[in-house]
């Protein structure tokens, strides 16, 4: 069996995760432009005003109270990742599987850990725990402080989609290493950044990415940001896996728990 994807596929990214960690919360790219780069993805909005998820070419804003609304094409994003989702690898999930187990199952589905993967999980969930960033005021605090305002939401017995990306560890200054996914329900009325879930039944689809199209902001805030902090792993842990139930700062150790 071939252990590499057989088709080239581009993933588009607007700005860097390390810029977001440094408090660069105002972007220069609109939702309208972003949708021109792909019909599937995630990210956040200016001032860190909620989580973004893009499903079937529609961009949704997931706010701290757990509600979802359709985003406006003129809204801007300081960080987002998207692609035109092509489900090249697809499998039915084992029933009643928790996030940590599903993570290992998805690893087995991938031909290699060294490529990027867009991940779409469609099904029914007995529980989904999410958190959502809260709109920040200037001067913006770094993200490790901003997430102190986060609200956690618990959804039970819900159908929906978990959408996001599995990113190689070597991309950790660029993107969120490991699995970064957002949830939205079937009614498109609620969701957030996923911390944990149990999938009762559903389908997992993967779209391997071999090429990265990276767009860096032309703003003075970005020009002056510190994009290589010494405690990057700890910052990623505090902001992306908060509430995940582990305390190790190492992103490597976190991988399967995410």
Work out how close the CB of 180 gets to Zn ion at its nearest, in angstroms, rounded to a whole number: 6
Q: Nearest Cα to 43, choosing from 225, 201, 215, 198?
A: 215
Task: Say how far apart CA 58 and CA 164 lie, in whole Å.
Answer: 14
Q: Are 197 and 129 in contact (CB under 8 A)?
A: yes
Question: Which residue, 76 or 193, has its beta carbon nearer to Zn ion?
Answer: 193
Which residues are CB-neighbours of 100 under 8 A, at least 6 positions away? 256, 257
Question: Which residue, 5 or 130, has its beta carbon nearer to Zn ion?
Answer: 130
Going residue by residue from 150 to 189, which x/- string records binding to Zn ion, judged by CB under 5 A?
A: ----------------------------------------
Work out how close the CB of 177 gets to Zn ion at its nearest, in angstroms, rounded to a whole number: 13
β-strands 211-215, 97-98: how paired?
unpaired
Question: Which residue, 5 or 60, has its beta carbon nearer to Zn ion?
Answer: 60
Angle (CA) 59-15-173 rounded to 5° is: 120
Question: Which residue, 37 or 193, has its beta carbon nearer to Zn ion?
Answer: 193
Question: Which residue, 172 or 193, has its beta carbon nearer to Zn ion?
Answer: 193
Count CB-CB contacts under 10 A for residue 212: 15
Work out how close the CB of 170 gets to Zn ion at its nearest, in angstroms, rounded to a whole number: 20
Q: Are 98 and 202 in contact (CB under 8 A)?
A: no
Work out how close the CB of 64 gets to Zn ion at its nearest, in angstroms, rounded to a whole number: 13
Angle (CA) 224-211-228 rounded to 5° is: 25
Residues 230-249 that bind Zn ion (CB under 5 A): none
Residue with tokens 């991309």: 171
Count CB-CB contacts under 10 A for residue 41: 29
Question: Which residue, 99 or 193, has its beta carbon nearer to Zn ion?
Answer: 193
Going residue by residue from 187 to 226, which x/- string records binding to Zn ion, judged by CB under 5 A?
A: ------x---------------------------------
Using CB atoms, what's the residue nearest to Zn ion? 193
Work out how close the CB of 125 gets to Zn ion at its nearest, in angstroms, rounded to a whole number: 17
Size of the chain in residues? 258
Question: Which residue, 203 or 242, has its beta carbon nearer to Zn ion?
Answer: 242
Residues that contact Zn ion, how many (by CB under 5 A): 1
Token pair recorded at residue 109: 């589905």
Work out how close the CB of 92 gets to Zn ion at its nearest, in angstroms, rounded to a whole number: 26
Summarize as ranges the residues that interact with Zn ion (CB under 5 A): 193
């Amino acid at each position: 069996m071939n252990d590499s994807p057989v088709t080239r596929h581009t993933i588009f990214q607007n700005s860097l995760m390390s810029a977001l960690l440094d408090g660069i919360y105002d972007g220069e790219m609109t939702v309208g432009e972003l949708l021109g780069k792909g019909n599937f993805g995630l990210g956040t909005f200016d001032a860190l005003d909620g989580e973004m998820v893009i499903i079937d070419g529609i961009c949704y804003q997931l706010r701290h109270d757990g509600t979802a609304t359709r985003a406006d094409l003129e809204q801007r994003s300081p960080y987002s990742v998207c692609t035109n989702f092509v489900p090249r690898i697809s499998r039915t999930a084992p029933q009643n599987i928790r996030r940590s187990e599903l993570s290992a199952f998805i690893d087995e589905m991938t031909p290699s850990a060294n490529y990027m993967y867009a991940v779409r999980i469609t099904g029914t969930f007995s529980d989904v725990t999410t958190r959502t960033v809260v709109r920040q005021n200037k001067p913006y605090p770094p993200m490790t402080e901003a997430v102190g305002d986060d609200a956690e939401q618990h959804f039970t017995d819900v159908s929906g989609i978990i959408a996001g990306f599995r990113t190689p560890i070597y991309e950790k200054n660029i993107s969120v290493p490991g699995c970064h996914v957002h949830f939205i329900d079937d009614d498109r009325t609620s969701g957030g950044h996923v911390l944990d879930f149990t999938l009762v039944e559903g389908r997992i689809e993967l779209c391997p990415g071999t090429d990265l199209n990276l767009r860096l902001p032309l703003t003075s805030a970005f020009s002056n940001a510190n994009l290589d902090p010494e405690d990057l792993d700890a910052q990623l842990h505090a902001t992306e896996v908060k509430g995940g139930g582990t305390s190790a700062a190492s992103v490597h150790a976190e991988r399967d728990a995410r």
